[in-house]
Amino acid sequence: MEIQLRIRMNEKIYLRNPEESALGKNIVRNGLLLINKIGFEEFTFKKLAKEINTTEASIYRYFENKHRLLLYIINWYWSILEYKVVYNLHNITNPEVKLKRIIELLAIPEEDNANDFISEHEAYKLVMWEGSKTYLTRNVASDNNDKLFKPYKDLCARFSAIIKEYNPEYKYPHSLASTILEISHMQKFFMSNLPSLTDFGNDKNDKKLINFLEQLLFDSLNKTVQTKPRKKQ
**Domains defined along the chain, listed by start:** 70-222 (1.10.357)
Q: Is the pLDDT of residue 100 over 70?
A: yes
Cβ atoms of 214 and 103 closer than 8 Å: yes
Q: What is the mean pLDDT of residues 61-77?
A: 97
Q: HEC string of the chain? A: CCCCCCCCCCCCCCCCCHHHCHHHHHHHHHHHHHHHHHCCCCCCHHHHHHHHCCCHHHHHCCCCCHHHHHHHHHHHHHHHHHHHHHHHHCCCCCHHHHHHHHHHHHHCCCCCCCCCCCCHHHHHHHHHHHHHHHCCCCCHHHHHHCCCCHHHHHHHHHHHHHHHHHCCCCCCHHHHHHHHHHHHHHHHHHHHHCHHHCCCCCCCCHHHHHHHHHHHHHHHHHCCCCCCCCCCC
Task: Give the model confidence (pLDDT) of 111-135 as tens digits.
Answer: 666 556 788 899 999 999 999 999 9
Q: In Å, how far from its chain's centre is CA 2?
A: 19
Distance of alpha carbon 7 from alpha carbon 67, whole angstroms: 19
Task: Give the model confidence (pLDDT) of 12-64 as tens digits.
Answer: 999 999 999 999 999 999 999 999 999 999 999 999 999 999 999 999 999 99
pLDDT bracket for residue 69 (50, 70, 90): very high
Q: Which range (161-175, 176-190, 212-226) has the least confidence?
A: 212-226
* More confident site: 4 or 5: 5
